[in-house]
Amino acid sequence: MNPLKCIIVDDEPLAVKLIQSFVERTPSLELLSAHTDPVEALEAIRSGEANLVFLDIQMPDIDGMELARSVPSTTRIIFTTAFKEYAFESYEVSALDFLLKPIRYVKFLAAVEKAQQWFERTPSTEDGTSQETSASPATTTIYIKVDGELRQVLFDSILYVAGMKDYVMFYLKNERKPLITHLTMKAVEDMLPSTKFLRVHRSYIVALDSIRKVDRNDCVYIGDEIIHVTSGYADAFHQYLKQLTP
């Protein structure tokens, strides 16, 4: 695989210099440009030449979240910030990873490896750019706030999600107690890839690969729970089952 072409955007010159030094140490990366002015960086990013953008969040004139919404779909974002409270919001703009300052090289390398994996499994168009498909989600994890701290959760570790008023409970494999966080079910549904998860009830989202059985009454057996698929979600669920049966 060819080196990933990248752009660095951070209003702090020292932060730019650090990430630039990381890029130079990493053979799988090629630096296109580095910017301390987000307005200046916008034109370079919109060209679509970069595979990857290392992007700070808190910047003058245009903050990282605003700039991220102008990034072409063929370009992936890795956020770099000193403020961990932005982690959840970063996944709303399909960020590939979230690096918390001060950034260590080992964490940087892990994010780059995640980017390589994403581009390897994403089909390329005729001009060589990557084309994201619904079967190739940009991320394999989400961050959720639990007891005031951010917790990284692998998609593959989730059994199902249950809603409870303004909170949701993430039930995970091999964990007795659920993770409880202040979110809506709609927000969680948007965060989770539709290729792996499906909403089957107003209050439940299930991991499709973890379903053990579906009975004649449209009850889903998953973990220690039996969840009834309600009428508003039955058509989508039956369509999913139809794809699995000969």
Q: Tens digit of pLDDT for each residue in 197-222?
A: 999 999 999 999 999 999 999 999 99
How many angstroms separate the Cα of 195 from the Cα of each of 117, 135, 186, 203? Answer: 17, 6, 16, 19
Q: Which residues contact 36 (CB under 8 A, 6 or more apart)?
A: 10, 11, 12, 13, 16
Give the residue from 44, 89, 88 showing the smallest Cα distance to 70.
44
Convert 203-212 to b/e letters by CB count within 10 Å (16 or more is b). bbbbbbebbe
d(CA 162, CA 199): 10
pLDDT per residue rounded down to tens, the chain (246 residues): 789 999 999 999 999 999 999 999 999 999 999 999 988 888 888 888 999 999 998 887 777 877 887 788 788 889 988 876 555 555 555 577 888 889 999 999 999 998 888 888 665 544 444 444 333 344 688 878 888 777 888 999 999 999 987 789 999 998 889 999 888 888 888 888 888 999 999 999 999 999 999 999 999 999 889 999 999 999 999 988 888 776
Omega before residue 27 within 30° of 0, cis: no
pLDDT of residue 94: 57
d(CA 129, CA 137): 16
Query: Whole-prediction pTM value?
Result: 0.54
pLDDT of residue 36: 94
d(CA 140, CA 34): 27
Give the residue from 110, 1, 111 showing the smallest Cα distance to 55.
111
